[in-house]
Structure 1
């Protein structure tokens, strides 16, 4: 029984992973507050450079 269960579990896991790969989310990647702040500063700096 344990051997059967173990084999079935591994097969189910493989199937679940394959299925998850097919259905990728359209959700945008998470960007942390620090990263957003850094991007905002870079954008502000690039706009200053364009104005000069």
Structure 2
């Protein structure tokens, strides 16, 4: 009985470890380096500035049109 129990315990322990390795808990987000975060922020700022300038240009075009 003890031999079977020991083998079963070893088997259960290995299966539990294998299942944890296959399906890890995703509690923490993936690490993003400081340089990568700076690059993403720069791209976001560039997109915002581009959209702001296009909005400003279109607003200027609307206000400069002369009504007939």
TM interval, short-chain normalised:
0.5 to 0.7
Distance apart, 1:26 and its partner CA: 2.0
Across the aligned residues of Structure 1 and Structure 2, the Cα RMSD in angstroms comes to 2.2
- Structure 1 runs (4+) greater than 6 angstroms displaced: none
TM-score normalised by structure 2 residue count: 0.49
What is the aligned partner in structure 2 of residue 28 from structure 1? 29
What is the aligned partner in structure 1 of residue 44 from structure 2? 43
For the pair shown, the structure with the greater C-alpha radius of gyration is 2
TM-score normalised by structure 1 residue count: 0.60
Query: Where does structure 1 lack aligned partners over 5 or more consecutive residues?
Result: 1-7
Query: Where does structure 2 lack aligned partners over 5 or more consecutive residues?
Result: 1-9, 54-68
Question: 1:27, 1:48 → 2: CA distance?
Answer: 32
